[in-house]
Amino acid sequence: MIDTKTLTQLGAHVETPQSPEQAVLETVPFARGDGPPAIVRFTCPEFTSLCPVTGQPDFAHIVIDYAPDTLLVESKSLKLFMTSFRNHGAFHEDCTVMIGRRIVAATKPLWLRIGGYWYPRGGIPIDVFWQTGAPPEGSWLPDTGVAPYRGRG
């Protein structure tokens, strides 16, 4: 059984952080074992942030794949982190890369990739991709499952 005494958010009532900078990504231990690394996927199909110029909401479908080494990101803390962007004004590229970098800083994974599939504003969808390097040898990397924009859904 994993010791959860150090977790401050899981199992507790926690308010949504007012900004991504205030959000805390918590981790739990992970025993990798032998063989190719596992790939863990988080999908956030209803991600929102704010346009830094107009203050209008921006919407995205975010897909995060990572190969954990010794730490997993605790999912409630990730949900709170992702929700904190609802009050955050930043361009699509900055939001997507910030999410990837924060998870890398918290978990120090073997590898991570993130795809931000942003819905159109002004008629142009913007898709943003970032990864830490080559994927781990021997790991199965499924397609992200998000089609090129044709009225995503």
Q: Which residues are annotated as a binding site for substrate?
A: 73-75, 92-93
The catalytic position among 3, 34, 44, 51 is 51
Amino acid 71 reads L
Distance between CA atoms of 129 and 2, rounded to whole angstroms?
33
Q: What end-to-end distance do the CA atoms of the chain give, in Å?
A: 38
DSSP codes joined into one string, 90-113 = --HHHHHHHHHHHHHHHH--SEEE
Active site residue 44: no
User: Which listed residue (34, 44, 58, 69) is catalytic?
Assistant: 58
Residues flagged as binding site: 73-75, 92-93
| CB-based contacts of 9, cutoff 8 Å, min separation 6 | 24, 26, 74, 76, 77, 80
**What is the rounded CA–CA span in Å between residue 21 and residue 40?**
24
Q: Is 94 a residue of the active site?
A: no
Active site residues: 51, 58
